[in-house]
């Protein structure tokens, strides 16, 4: 077990493609961190540099106190469990798991013991004598993990481990991986494009986009205080709604005027101060679907409220979901189990000020920082 | 548009029975979703209706015609696929007009123009008519693909997983979009999917099949609240419904369900008692949806409580999923707000007994449904 630290790490591919730009990140000893971002954000390049499959263009990677830049992959004591399981088809599961140990001159009793230990930890004792072709996707996943863990790595890397399981298996493996980490407390990095996986499993989340680390923090820090529009839109499902508006001062008050004059919101003093300080030309008002309450009548004065019109309403079993038009802009919101809405019905979207976000309309940077 | 009726349809491929004695009626103008896991026989059913496969047994009616002997092009059925398959070198207008220019269709240029514009208006794609497919967003492409299927005015529109290849975020969006479009289309629609949210959101009715056999047909709310059997109950909802094998006994005039693994004891109301007594069962399988359980700090009298240990807690935005274990069986529940739990800490969970479902352990049927 060890801490993992990246200091000013860059990865530039041929033709000046900058995959990773000045990445500073440390993963604590025993921590479970998710590296989250869309495809092409640099997360896999980062992972490959940690493992040693990719040269580091600039910067340093530490595992514990050692700089590992110049170490071969096998000398780094890092284990990688793949998205594609990459199991050897002609070997039994037991042989697949013990393969890397047999290459290392370890006594066969010791190998036997280690394989059995890791197999019982992952609940795959009963399939050890089968071949990869004879087991299911969820089991292959566990075998791939067993093969990584049997080497006793200091850092465990999981590359999109759940992405090609079906929905039910994915939910199950998510639970199991989280539980497993709690039991073994090994430094673990999960690489994923699925925010749900990151949020559900990891202790901290590092969000990347275009090779740049956007924000790193606990779920609360990232979800409740997103640094910018990208993070706000990427973490959370259904995604945050953004409404374009312009700030307008009237006397001592500051209003947000929606595109085409579709709404007019008076800002509370705390938010007014932030806007006056940063002076953005346009503002994106961010509201999470879960923080909107739907009312069929306009509320009393003083509440943040947007007049809207039902575009679609879906009842999804336990609760519902509505897409409403605020002028020309669309807002998605959740509805309680008993509410039914019809198309083109007039509704009012009410919001709590504590869950209202403001971003600079041009740079996307949060105005609340 | 027309009513479509399948009567005792069977289709096998070698030893595999893909569709097994299936009878199903889709009303004129109805939007029906065919829901099932992969391999359930959904796509085969579509192909039997379109005429791309022939059933060994049974009759297929479109309107009042039996269409079994008819070729696909004689059936007036349109199919739109998961991949949009638009002609990249044609404009949107030309893509829409193409099916009307097929050999054997003698439409005048004026008739074609009228129909293309009518469909474009219906789908809100009039401003896109002169664009090439490459310059359309995913949602716009989907609408054009639908338009091409609708332009011939088919009796039934068949859709095979039209949005399942999209990622989660886009799917939310497209589902809503599709819902808006479908409310304007008057055509009879059969829509195949494995995603229960699409089945809840979109149709008038949903038909649930597995291994070629029909399990239940009903409105989304009906199949969700009153599933016919364990298969249907497990297919609808994420996380899945929790199932507990229980022994039945009577205590002070009440029915008591005791989990076979131990740790679970539920006392039920009179309505459930009367129903259970009628069945003469000594064991049942209880189903509890994750939404109908909640962790509590204090336990009051007359509440139904299961005590267990925290297995894992996953926070998902403002809510979370708590997996807890009772005598080595794991259960999932959804917390409405996000909470904090320590792994292996004891937890008391309150159950809404009025919302439980009860299944016969042998037939797996819901005992409340005849």
pLDDT value at residue A300: 67
Q: Is A310 on the interface with B (CB under 8 A)?
A: no
8 A C-beta contact, residue A114 and residue A107: no
pLDDT value at residue A233: 94
Tell me the C-alpha distance between A160 and A173, whole Å: 12
Predicted confidence band at B246 (pLDDT cuts at 50, 70, 90)? very high
pLDDT value at residue B36: 93
Terminal C-alpha separation, chain A: 35
Per the structure block, which two tokens stand in for A308? 């809207």
Residue of B nearest to A313 (CA): B176
Q: Is A354 on the interface with B (CB under 8 A)?
A: no
Beta-strand pair A204-209/A32-36: parallel
8 A C-beta contact, residue B299 and residue B361: no
Unique residue bearing structure tokens 């204090």: B298
Q: What is the pLDDT of residues B269-299, one digit of tens each?
A: 788 888 888 888 999 999 999 999 999 998 8
Q: Which residues from B are below 8 Å from A314, CB to CB?
A: 175-176, 179, 200-202
Residue of B nearest to A175 (CA): B312
8 A C-beta contact, residue A247 and residue A255: yes
Tell me the C-alpha distance between A109 and A115, whole Å: 10
Q: What is the pLDDT of residues A72-119, one digit of tens each?
A: 988 899 998 865 667 888 999 999 999 888 877 788 899 999 999 889
- Are residues A314 and B317, on separate chains, in Cβ contact within 8 Å? no
Per the structure block, which two tokens stand in for A354? 């504590």
- The phi and psi torsions of B350 (rounded to 5 degrees) equal -90, 135
Least confident of A162-176, A226-240, B197-211: A162-176
**CA B69 centroid distance within chain:** 30
Tell me the C-alpha distance between B9 and B25, whole Å: 12
Tell me the C-alpha distance between B178 and B198, whole Å: 10
Residue of B nearest to A176 (CA): B312
Tell me the C-alpha distance between A13 and A20, whole Å: 10
Inform me whether the pLDDT recorded for A215 exceeds 80.
yes
Tell me the C-alpha distance between A296 and A231, whole Å: 32
Unique residue bearing structure tokens 């829901």: B35
8 A C-beta contact, residue B116 and residue B107: no
What is the arithmetic mean of pLDDT over A286-307? Answer: 86
8 A C-beta contact, residue A224 and residue A264: no
- Are residues A239 and B317, on separate chains, in Cβ contact within 8 Å? no
Q: Which residues from A are below 8 Å from B240, CB to CB?
A: 168
Tell me the C-alpha distance between A126 and A118, whole Å: 13
- Are residues B220 and A317, on separate chains, in Cβ contact within 8 Å? yes
Residue-wise DSSP of A354-366: GGEEEEETTT-BB
Of A178, A199, A314, the CB nearest to B317: A199
What is the arithmetic mean of pLDDT over B331-348? Answer: 92
pLDDT value at residue B104: 77
Least confident of A132-146, A344-358, B230-244: A132-146
pLDDT value at residue B177: 79
What is the arithmetic mean of pLDDT over A175-187? Answer: 89
What is the arithmetic mean of pLDDT over B148-174? Answer: 83
How high is the mean pLDDT of chain A? Answer: 90
Sheet holding B254-259, edge to edge: B265-267, B254-259, B242-251, B283-288, B357-359
pLDDT value at residue A85: 63
Q: Which residues from B are below 8 Å from A219, CB to CB?
A: 315
- How far does A29 lie from chain B, in Å, by closest CA? 19
Per the structure block, which two tokens stand in for B175? 């589902």
Task: Quote the DSSP letter at residue A240.
Answer: P
Unique residue bearing structure tokens 């809840």: B200
Residue of B nearest to A320 (CA): B201
- Confidence (pTM): 0.84
Tell me the C-alpha distance between A222 and A204, whole Å: 9
Per the structure block, which two tokens stand in for A339? 């509410």
Tell me the C-alpha distance between A216 and A206, whole Å: 4
Q: Which residues from A are below 8 Å from B179, CB to CB?
A: 312, 314
Tell me the C-alpha distance between B229 and B367, whole Å: 9
Unique residue bearing structure tokens 């494009």: A193
Domains of chain B from N-terminus onward: 4-235 (3.40.50.300), 242-359 (2.40.50.140)
- Are residues A175 and B312, on separate chains, in Cβ contact within 8 Å? yes
Tell me the C-alpha distance between A330 and B349, whole Å: 39
How high is the mean pLDDT of chain B? Answer: 90
């Amino acid at each position: 077990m060890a801490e993992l630290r990246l200091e000013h790490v860059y990865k530039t591919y041929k033709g000046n493609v900058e995959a990773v730009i000045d990445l500073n990140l440390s993963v604590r000893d025993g921590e479970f961190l998710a590296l989250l971002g869309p495809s092409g954000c640099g997360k896999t390049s980062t992972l490959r540099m940690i493992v040693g499959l990719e040269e580091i263009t600039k910067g340093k990677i530490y595992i514990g106190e050692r700089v590992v830049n110049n170490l071969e992959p096998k000398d780094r004591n890092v284990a990688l469990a793949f998205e594609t399981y990459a199991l050897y088809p002609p070997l039994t599961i037991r042989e697949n798991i013990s393969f890397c140990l047999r290459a290392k001159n370890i006594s066969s009793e010791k190998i036997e013991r280690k394989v059995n230990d890791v197999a019982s930890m992952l609940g795959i004792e009963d399939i050890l004598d089968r071949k990869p072709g004879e087991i299911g996707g969820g089991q292959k996943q566990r075998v791939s993990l067993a093969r990584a863990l049997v080497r006793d790595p200091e850092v465990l890397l999981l590359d999109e481990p759940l992405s090609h399981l079906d929905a039910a298996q994915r939910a199950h493996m998510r639970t199991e991986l989280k539980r497993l980490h709690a039991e073994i407390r090994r430094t673990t990095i999960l690489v994923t494009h699925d925010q749900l996986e990151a949020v559900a499993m990891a202790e901290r989340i590092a969000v990347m986009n275009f090779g740049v680390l956007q924000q790193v923090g606990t779920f609360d820090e990232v979800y409740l205080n997103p640094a910018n529009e990208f993070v706000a839109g990427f973490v959370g499902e259904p995604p945050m709604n953004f409404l374009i508006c312009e700030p307008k001062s009237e006397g001592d008050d500051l209003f947000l005027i929606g595109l085409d004059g579709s709404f007019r919101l008076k800002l509370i003093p705390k938010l007014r101060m932030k806007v006056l300080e940063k002076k953005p030309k346009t503002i994106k008002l961010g509201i999470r679907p879960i923080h909107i309450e739907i009312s069929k009548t306009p509320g009393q004065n003083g509440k943040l409220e947007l007049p809207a019109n039902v575009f679609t309403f879906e009842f999804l079993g336990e609760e519902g979901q509505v897409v409403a038009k605020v002028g020309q802009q669309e807002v998605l919101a959740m509805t309680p189990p008993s509410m039914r809405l019809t198309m083109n019905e007039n509704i009012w979207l009410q919001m709590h000020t504590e869950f209202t976000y403001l971003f600079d309309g041009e740079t996307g940077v949060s105005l609340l920082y | 548009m027309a009513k479509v009726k399948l009567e005792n349809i069977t289709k096998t491929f070698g030893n595999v029975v893909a569709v097994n004695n299936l009878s199903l009626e889709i009303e004129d103008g109805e939007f029906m979703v065919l829901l099932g896991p992969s391999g359930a026989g959904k796509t085969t059913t579509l192909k039997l209706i379109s005429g791309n496969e022939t059933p060994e047994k049974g009759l297929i009616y479109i309107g009042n015609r039996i269409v079994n002997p008819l070729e696909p092009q004689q059936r007036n059925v349109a199919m739109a696929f998961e991949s949009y398959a638009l002609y990249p070198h044609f404009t949107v207008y030309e893509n829409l007009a193409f099916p009307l220019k097929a050999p054997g269709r003698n439409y005048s240029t004026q008739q074609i123009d009228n129909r293309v514009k009518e469909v474009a208006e219906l789908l809100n794609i009039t401003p896109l008519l002169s664009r090439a497919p490459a310059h359309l967003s995913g949602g716009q492409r989907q609408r054009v693909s639908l338009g091409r299927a609708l332009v011939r005015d088919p009796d039934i529109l068949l859709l095979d997983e039209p949005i399942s290849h999209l990622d989660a975020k886009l799917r939310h969006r497209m589902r809503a979009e599709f819902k808006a479009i479908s409310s304007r289309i008057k055509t009879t629609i059969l829509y195949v999917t494995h995603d229960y949210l699409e089945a809840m959101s979109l149709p008038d009715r949903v038909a649930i099949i597995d291994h070629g056999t029909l399990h239940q047909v009903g409105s989304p709310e009906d199949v969700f609240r009153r599933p016919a059997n364990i298969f249907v109950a497990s297919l609808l909802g994420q996380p899945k419904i929790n199932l507990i094998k229980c022994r039945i006994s009577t205590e002070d005039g009440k029915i008591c369900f005791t989990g076979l693994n131990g740790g679970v004891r539920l006392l039920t109301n009179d309505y459930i008692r009367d129903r259970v007594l009628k069945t003469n069962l000594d064991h049942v399988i209880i189903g509890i949806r994750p939404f109908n359980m909640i962790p509590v700090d204090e336990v009051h009298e007359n509440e139904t409580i299961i005590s267990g240990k925290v297995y894992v807690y996953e926070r998902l935005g403002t809510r979370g999923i708590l997996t807890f274990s009772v005598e080595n069986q794991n259960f999932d529940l959804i917390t409405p707000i996000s909470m904090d739990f320590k792994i292996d800490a004891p937890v008391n969970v309150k159950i809404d007994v009025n919302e439980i479902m009860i299944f016969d352990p042998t037939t797996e049927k819901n005992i409340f449904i005849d």
